Structure 1
Amino acid sequence: MGYVYILRCSDGTLYVGSTRDLGLRLVQHQEGMGSAYTRRRLPVELIWSADFARIDEAFAWEKRLQGWSHAKRMAFIEGGLDAVIGWSVRNRTAGR
């Protein structure tokens, strides 16, 4: 089993991670042992997570989400995949 998750940090930024044990990982983040990024931005709040049958699937989603902008991540959190389908194309052509 694997999980991918998004945390909202105290400064409003979003942190994306993956883990085999979501509960333990959240405790680690809150105690300042999760990552250097979140350690400097405590407290953090879990705002989205998904579970996968395999950790490599969760890791692949982590990498995908890390490549997205803050706005695209928020749209995904609020509306799921349907909310971000065509997002990049729409943003590239909007300025023309």
Structure 2
Amino acid sequence: MMKQSFVYILTNTYRTTFYIGVTSNLEKRILEHKQGIGSAFTKKYNLSDLIYFEKFSDIHQAISREKQLKNWRKEWKINLIKKVNPVLKTLDV
């Protein structure tokens, strides 16, 4: 059986900058972002608010989805997020 994995989107307080990542342990990864560990980009732009994630049973699917989302326009990403999180609130893991 494959380990579950996640594609996630982080943003800042003002919801102006987005970061898309992939991980097998969402809770641990979000904590690392909050502590400024692991990504210079998220640290630089203070991106630690989880506003969207998708769960996968196969890491290869998650990586493929991450690459797809990274190529999307910002407007498309916001529309995707708003389908499940209309007010862009910070989600609990």
Q: Which residue of 1 aligns with 2:38?
A: 34
Structure of higher RCO (CA pairs closer than 8 Å, 6+ residues apart)? 2
Distance 1:54 1:37, change over 3 A: same
Distance 1:22 1:30, change over 3 A: same
Normalised by the size of structure 1, how large is the TM-score? Answer: 0.77
User: 1:50 and 2:61 equivalent?
Assistant: no
Length, aligned pairs only? 80
Separation (CA, whole Å) in 2 of partners of 1:34 and 1:9 = 17
Q: Deviations over 1:49-94 (max 9, x none)?
A: 01100111111110000001111100111137xxxxxxxxxxxxxx
User: 1:65 and 2:69 equivalent?
Assistant: yes
Counterpart of 2:10 in structure 1: which amino acid?
L
Higher-Rg member (1/2): 1
Instruction: Name structure 2 gaps, 5 residues minimum.
Output: 85-93
* 2:36 aligned counterpart, secondary structure: coil
Query: Which stretches of structure 1, 4 residues or more, deviate above 3 A after TM superposition?
Result: none
Separation (CA, whole Å) in 2 of partners of 1:63 and 1:43 = 19
Separation (CA, whole Å) in 2 of partners of 1:13 and 1:43 = 8
Separation (CA, whole Å) in 2 of partners of 1:43 and 1:56 = 25
Superposition RMSD in Å: 1.5
Seq. identity, %: 32
Contact 2:10 2:47 in 1 (8 A): no
Contact 1:2 1:52 in 2 (8 A): yes
Separation (CA, whole Å) in 1 of partners of 2:34 and 2:60 = 24
Instruction: Name structure 1 gaps, 5 residues minimum.
Output: 81-96
* 2:20 aligned counterpart, secondary structure: strand
